[in-house]
């Protein structure tokens, strides 16, 4: 019988590597590692994401909840104030959010995304 729960244990998950699209990068050479733990029907995703220092433009078409596990990032909505995010900080980004994501210190977060 398959368990009806998942833990955020990434020990045996191979991370996917990535980076922001080159036309969105503002500064640095940020890279990503993503450990996808759950991909459920209806466009629901959960996992852990890590990004190295850099700054890039973001535009959300999805809904995302995340909690910062380590590091320091600054998320700034177009026309808004910078939000400094560190371990323990949580946020929801809604569809239509546009702005920048700047990783000051390599950041690790867990996330739940609904498309």
Delimit the domains of the chain by residue range.
Answer: 34-114
Q: Give the β-pairing of 16-18 and 44-51.
A: unpaired
Q: Which residue has the tokens 């990004």?
A: 51
Q: Average of pLDDT values for 16-21?
A: 98
Is the confidence at residue 112, as pLDDT, over 90?
yes
Record the pTM: 0.93
Q: Average of pLDDT values for 17-24?
A: 98
Distance of alpha carbon 34 from alpha carbon 45, whole angstroms = 11
- Which pLDDT score, from 0 to 100, does residue 3 have? 80
The CATH homologous superfamily to which domain 34-114 belongs is Jelly Rolls (2.60.120.10)
Is the confidence at residue 2, as pLDDT, over 90?
no
């Amino acid at each position: 019988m398959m368990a009806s729960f998942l833990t955020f244990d990434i020990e045996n998950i191979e991370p996917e590597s990535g980076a922001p699209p080159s036309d969105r990068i503002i500064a640095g050479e940020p890279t990503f590692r993503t450990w996808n733990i759950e991909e459920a029907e209806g466009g629901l995703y959960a996992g852990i994401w890590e990004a190295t220092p850099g700054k890039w433009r973001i535009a959300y078409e999805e809904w995302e909840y995340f909690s910062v596990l380590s590091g320091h990032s600054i998320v700034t909505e177009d026309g808004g104030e910078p939000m400094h995010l560190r371990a323990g900080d949580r946020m929801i980004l809604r569809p239509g959010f546009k702005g920048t994501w700047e990783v000051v210190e390599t950041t690790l977060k867990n996330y739940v995304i609904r498309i």
